[in-house]
Amino acid sequence: MSSQEWARVWAAVHEERRALRSDLSHVPVHRWAEASLCPGWDVHDVVSHLIDSAKTTRLGFARRMLVARFDFDRDNAVGVVRERRASPAETLAEFGRIVTETKTPPAAPATRLVEAIVHGEDVRRPLGVQREYPLHHVLPALRHQLKTSVSMGGGRERAAGFRLVAVDADFFSGSGPDVHATALALLLALSGRPVRPTELAGSASLAFAKHLSAGPEGQ
């Protein structure tokens, strides 16, 4: 990817970080302990993970994988503990300091958008906070998840056998019976996050929901 393309990705990521920081600044302290959409993590944990990820370099990631014996979950858990401050206010302040970071582990640029948006919803949805995400942020993340296997953090297998149609964008993917949803809802579903039944429509909406609930790969 060219430097100009990277610049566009980082501009979008920084915008998403600023938006999340703003939203969290209005959240009462006690609600940081609420469960997020990310299994096993509360709101405070997710924000701590975002801080940790923003500080992770390619070389640093390689070193961390060696220490964690290539156990991604273990490494993430250690990172959360490392970056979680004593209070939500302190963690939010640290999150504010990493808003414009451009460090990244060795991953495709679109993963930075997937992380910013999906983890943003991991926090916002349980808190009842809504954001109108720019489509030029969501669509690259959605395209990435469609072509990436579940084992690598994507959602290709979850989409198999369906034609996914974004109702708020000129976008469709796949073949089979139709599933209609917003680009954001499709991104969340392919990322293994729960979506409300009312967010899905089309002739295969019920079948798609059942497919998703069958397991990590929709099988």
Q: What residues pair up with 173 in beta bridges, in sequence order?
A: 164
Give residue-wise pLDDT tens across range 74-120: 888 999 999 999 999 999 999 999 999 999 998 899 999 999 999 99
What whole-number distance in Å separates Cα of residue 78 and Cα of residue 133?
30
* 3-state secondary structure (DSSP) of residue 216: coil
User: What is the bridge-based pairing of β-strands 171-173 and 178-181?
Assistant: unpaired
Provide the terminal-to-terminal Cα distance of the chain, rounded to the nearest Å: 34
Q: Which of 83, 111, 127 is the last residue of a domain?
A: 127
Same domain assignment for residues 114 and 178? no
pTM value?
0.93
Give residue-wise pLDDT tens across range 40-79: 999 999 999 999 999 999 888 788 878 867 877 888 899 9
The answer as to whether 10 is a domain residue is: yes
Q: Which of 85, 100, 127 is the last residue of a domain?
A: 127
Query: 76 versus 183: which is more confidently predicted?
Result: 183
Query: 219 versus 67: which is more confidently predicted?
Result: 67
The answer as to whether 80 is a domain residue is: yes
Instruction: Write down the pLDDT at residue 216.
Output: 54
Return the biggest CA–CA distance within the chain: 50
The answer as to whether 95 is a domain residue is: yes
Same domain assignment for residues 53 and 25? yes
Task: DSSP letter for 180, please.
Answer: E
Q: What is the span of the domain harbouring residue 7?
A: 3-127
Same domain assignment for residues 29 and 77? yes
Query: 39 versus 58: which is more confidently predicted?
Result: 39
Q: What residues pair up with 16 in beta bridges, in sequence order?
A: none
CATH number at residue 88: 1.20.120.450
Asked whether residue 184 carries a pLDDT value surpassing 60, the answer given is: yes
Q: Give the total number of structural domains in the chain.
A: 2
Give residue-wise pLDDT tens across range 121-164: 999 999 999 999 999 999 999 999 999 999 999 999 999 999 99
Give residue-wise pLDDT tens across range 5-25: 889 999 999 999 999 999 999
Same domain assignment for residues 119 and 43? yes
Burial class of residue 96 in the structure, from the number of CB atoms within 10 Å of its CB (0-12 exposed, 13-18 middle, 19+ buried): middle
Residue with tokens 């990590």: 216
Asked whether residue 172 carries a pLDDT value surpassing 50, the answer given is: yes
What whole-number distance in Å separates Cα of residue 124 and Cα of residue 80?
19
